[in-house]
Amino acid sequence: MSAKTIKNPLLKRVPREFIGDWKKYIIVMLFLIVMIGATAGVYVANNSMMEAFDKLEEKYILEDGHFELNSEADEEMLAAIAKGEMADLRAYYTDKAHNELEERFEEEFTREFDEAFAEEFDGQFEEEFNAAYEEQVELMVRDQLQGNNIPEEQTEAMVESALEDAFASEEYDAAYSEAYEEAYTEAYEEAYAEAYDEAYIEALAEIDEEIEEEIAKAEERYELNSPDFETVPVTIYENFYVNLNENDENRIRVFTYQTNINLPCIHEGRLPAAAGEIAIDRMHAVNCGIGVGDSVNIGGTEMEVVGLISIPNYTTLHENNTDTMFNALTFDVGLVTDEGFEELSLNRNVHYMYSWIYNTDPADKVAEKKAGDNFLKVFVTQVATTDNSVEDFLPAYANQAIVFAPDDVGGDMAMVGVLLYIFIGIIAFIFAVTISSTISKEASVIGTLRASGYTKGELISHYMAMPIVVTLTAAVIGNVLGYTKLKDAVKGLYYNSYSLPVFKTLWSSEAFVKTTVIPLVLVLLVNLAVITYKLRLSPLKFLRHDLKNGKKRNAVKLPNWKFFTRFRSRILSQNRANYCVLAFGVIFVMFLMTFASAMPDTVEHVKNTVGDTLIADYQVILKSTEDDDGNVIATSNSDAEKFSVTGLLYKATIDEEISVYGFVDDSAYFDLPQLAENEVVISESFAEKYTIAVGDVITLDEEYENASYEFRVASVADTGGVLAVFVDVDSYNRIFDLDEDSFSGFLSSSPIEDIPEKYIAKTITIDDMLMQANQLDHSMGAMLDYFGYVCVVMAAVLIYLLTKTIIEKNENAISMTKILGYRPGEIASLYLVSTTWVMLVVELIAVFAGRGIMAAVWIIFLKSMPGWYSFYMKNSSSVKNFILVFAAFLIIMFFDYLRIRRIPMDEALKNVE
């Protein structure tokens, strides 16, 4: 006797089993490798990119935001902003106004006083002097005439004549001038002193009132009195640029390269070192066929491209933050030296942009938003205390050129994960079917092993070994490929759209778990369930090949059909379990093909129909509803209508941004029903995505603030794919605690051209709605075509594996029919025609079931992504899918025919031995 050192000899079967049926396992493994590899590639590349995005701040010193001023800021202003403290607007305005008053008051007052005083004094003095002079002359003339006994009539005439002479005399002029000089000086001094004080006090009061009004406006607009305000010290860096033409056909934004913020990542070449050199964005350069060493015309100056770069604040080339999509074709960014910039910017409109970095890094998204809000208060108050003015203010979290790429990269990972699990599901299912068939074939051996004392557990482990080994091997190879070649392929996909920095591949535990652990667990669970079920029978039943649990049923009596028909019916009946499995598999594949067809069909449908359901052709959202002079912005467009809009979050699978619209009464753009308090109309897309019905109560939250709102859904409106809630403007203002005349912008059927661009935050047109559909089409269209063909191959593999199982299961019977004298063609017609019947029926069911399931899965799938598209699939796509799968089936049938031909006649005899 020997001590027990024997390893389980059944383990040796696994490699032999693999070699014995290598075609099958290689096909399965290849599929797994491709799927796992591709997914691992996506996870590794995307995770590494996400990590790289996170590190942009640290490695490339990505700005926390930037602002642009009308003119260059002075050191004092920048220092004040950098402190992160709000300016004292009242003190500033008061001080400034008082100083100005001080400077101009005396002069203005004296001028005005002198004019008024002289006019008033002259009139009054002349009257008084003339009266006194007349009285004096008349008295003197009468005294002289009284002594000469002149009659009274003559006396009056003589006095009148003497007065006329006196007023015309030189003595009168001399007396007048002497009296005037004396009286004027005395009266002026007294009146001036009195009026000056009074006027000064009045002017001060008027100015103070104006200042208070201005401050109140600013406080309301920027919530300057918010109790949540905290100082946000920042470091500010100059980041000036000029917008120029590049080779006369494109636009380029030229910066000087910085050494302390938004550092460039050099992909090829080097940074500029001389005035005539420029480094430009790699993606744009590739799109335009520009290489290092080429000469480009930048605003009329020939410059040499010395480097291809990416800069962290332009990971996607968004020319304006309001652009829905980036534009790496006709827009570029470039870096030059200080001297180069000086030359290029000479006599040109320089954009005085300054980037900032918080001295204390915000801990999270909420903290970043809060810091941004606080810094805005600091910024506007500080700028207000200067002669400068604001052109732009954009924190990084709201900068599309910074956040678009990470948002997209993150979304893609979710989608690829779902696809992998669907594929793994199919593979697990193919394994289970194959093993189930193997167990039936090996019933005697299993019975013997069980009778000899092998436990069910040992046999389950044994049969589990192959799927586990194959999946594990595929996962290892797939991961290796994913981490090497496929990661680069995935990287290439993104690098063909985005201006990403170079990133290092990082070990991703998420990639490992999702591409190795979860597939293994999936395969393990599916197979464990099937194998455990198959091995539940007693050893005796296995020994007797009695693998049906329960009573043996009598054969079903068939009608008096032709012999071949009855034979085929028996085959159908005997293999019904296999055909069920085939049906399930084909439905599964058809479901995937439905996905591949439905996606582009839906995008096309959106393109064709979005115009019919738009709220308005133009939605102009303003940055501010007041212009620089404080006047409410208006438009002369006769079809324009004010509206309000804001974004809230609906917290479900993801935090979905829901637009909340407020429409004016009797809006020409939206027919709102009568709504009770807290009642809203929601968009059909919103209702469909989150299965919200009329009468349901929904809760929407502020994204960065601790506030939430509950609404009852009154009705649902079809509004072109937007996820939105609609209320009347009064409710809107009440909900968000706004003034009754507040609004966000204009809805219009025609372009609004009389509002300066600087006041417009965003204009949403049909192009914007379509741009997303176009981008989806561009990003996924080709991939989905490819995916569709992969599905056909998958269908072929599935049919191959399952019909192979059916034929192998019937090898004895086929062999026996051959012994009896049936020709291979007849035998093939018996087995293959019945399978074809099944296939036709199954495919028809699959086409409809695939659509049904897809429509349901569509909701789950899109719930993991922002936005919504209603499921749509063309009937012709279903027909195409049917034909493709059936063609694949016919090819497999040909191979099956060859397989049937190859079954030897001694097969039946061998097994009876």
Binding residues for other proteins, per CB under 8 A? 1-2, 4, 6-10, 12-13, 16-17, 20, 444-445, 447-456, 538-540, 543, 910, 913
CB of 437 to other proteins, least distance (A): 15
Query: What's the Rg (C-alpha) of the chain?
Result: 45
CB of 909 to other proteins, least distance (A): 12
CB of 12 to other proteins, least distance (A): 6
CB of 432 to other proteins, least distance (A): 21
CB of 43 to other proteins, least distance (A): 38
Position 561, amino acid: W
In this structure, what token pair is assigned to residue 727? 């209320």
Judged by beta carbon, residue 12 or residue 217, the one nearer other proteins is: 12
Judged by beta carbon, residue 463 or residue 868, the one nearer other proteins is: 463
CB of 536 to other proteins, least distance (A): 11
CB of 911 to other proteins, least distance (A): 9
Q: Characterize 643-681 residue by residue with b for buried, 16 or more Cβ atoms within 10 angstroms of its Cβ, and e for exposed.
A: bbbbebbbeeeeebebbbbbbbeebebbebeebeeeebb
CB of 895 to other proteins, least distance (A): 24
How far is residue 874's CA from residue 513's CA, in Å, rounded to a whole number? 37
237, 316 in Cβ contact below 8 A?
no
CB of 699 to other proteins, least distance (A): 54
> Cα 315 vs. chain centroid, distance in angstroms?
14
Give me the residue label for tokens 């996820």. 723
3-state class of 835 per DSSP? helix
CB of 8 to other proteins, least distance (A): 6
Position 208, amino acid: D
Judged by beta carbon, residue 739 or residue 913, the one nearer other proteins is: 913
CB of 825 to other proteins, least distance (A): 29
DSSP-H helix ranges across 60-169: 75-83, 89-146, 152-168
8-state DSSP, 250: E
Compute the C-alpha angle 426/428/434, nearest 5°. 100
48, 503 in Cβ contact below 8 A?
yes
CB of 816 to other proteins, least distance (A): 18
Query: What is the residue-wise DSSP string for 304-328?
Result: EEEEEEE-GGGSS--SSTT-SS--T
Q: What share of the chain is helix, strand, coil (3-state, %, to 5)?
A: 60, 15, 25
In this structure, what token pair is assigned to residue 484? 């090497």
Using alpha carbons, select from 794, 777, 770, 893 the residue that is nearest to residue 838: 893
Judged by beta carbon, residue 217 or residue 910, the one nearer other proteins is: 910
Position 786, amino acid: Y
- Supply φ then ψ for residue 895, to 5 degrees: -65, -35
CB of 49 to other proteins, least distance (A): 47
How far is residue 711's CA from residue 695's CA, in Å, rounded to a whole number? 10
Using alpha carbons, select from 850, 834, 833 the residue that is nearest to residue 885: 850
Q: Give bridge partners of residue 725 from the DSSP assignment.
A: 660, 682
Judged by beta carbon, residue 9 or residue 756, the one nearer other proteins is: 9
Judged by beta carbon, residue 13 or residue 734, the one nearer other proteins is: 13
Judged by beta carbon, residue 217 or residue 545, the one nearer other proteins is: 545
CB atoms within 10 A of CB 248: 8
Question: Where are the extended beta strands (E) located within 301-424?
Answer: 301-310, 331-336, 352-358, 390-395
CB atoms within 10 A of CB 843: 21
Length of the chain, please? 913
How far is residue 815's CA from residue 810's CA, in Å, rounded to a whole number? 8
Cβ-in-10-Å burial (0-12, 13-18, 19+) of 741 comes to exposed
How far is residue 127's CA from residue 407's CA, in Å, rounded to a whole number? 88
CB of 10 to other proteins, least distance (A): 7
In this structure, what token pair is assigned to residue 612? 């019919």
Using alpha carbons, select from 676, 49, 768, 720 the residue that is nearest to residue 407: 49
Judged by beta carbon, residue 299 or residue 539, the one nearer other proteins is: 539
Judged by beta carbon, residue 131 or residue 451, the one nearer other proteins is: 451
CB of 449 to other proteins, least distance (A): 7
Query: What sign has the CA pseudo-torsion 431, 436, 441, 446?
Result: positive
Judged by beta carbon, residue 347 or residue 452, the one nearer other proteins is: 452
Judged by beta carbon, residue 8 or residue 699, the one nearer other proteins is: 8
Judged by beta carbon, residue 833 or residue 905, the one nearer other proteins is: 905
CB of 17 to other proteins, least distance (A): 7
Query: What sign has the CA pseudo-torsion 761, 763, 767, 773?
Result: positive
Judged by beta carbon, residue 23 or residue 562, the one nearer other proteins is: 23
Judged by beta carbon, residue 450 or residue 804, the one nearer other proteins is: 450
Judged by beta carbon, residue 451 or residue 580, the one nearer other proteins is: 451
CB of 470 to other proteins, least distance (A): 17
Q: β-pairing, 708-717 with 679-683?
A: parallel
Judged by beta carbon, residue 128 or residue 458, the one nearer other proteins is: 458
> Cα 283 vs. chain centroid, distance in angstroms?
20
Judged by beta carbon, residue 562 or residue 902, the one nearer other proteins is: 902
Judged by beta carbon, residue 370 or residue 809, the one nearer other proteins is: 809
CB of 531 to other proteins, least distance (A): 17
877, 597 in Cβ contact below 8 A?
yes
Using alpha carbons, select from 799, 893, 789 the residue that is nearest to residue 843: 799
Query: What is the residue-wise DSSP string for 581-628?
Result: HHHHHHHHHHHHHHHHHHHHHHHHHHHHHHHHH-S-SEEEEES-SB-T
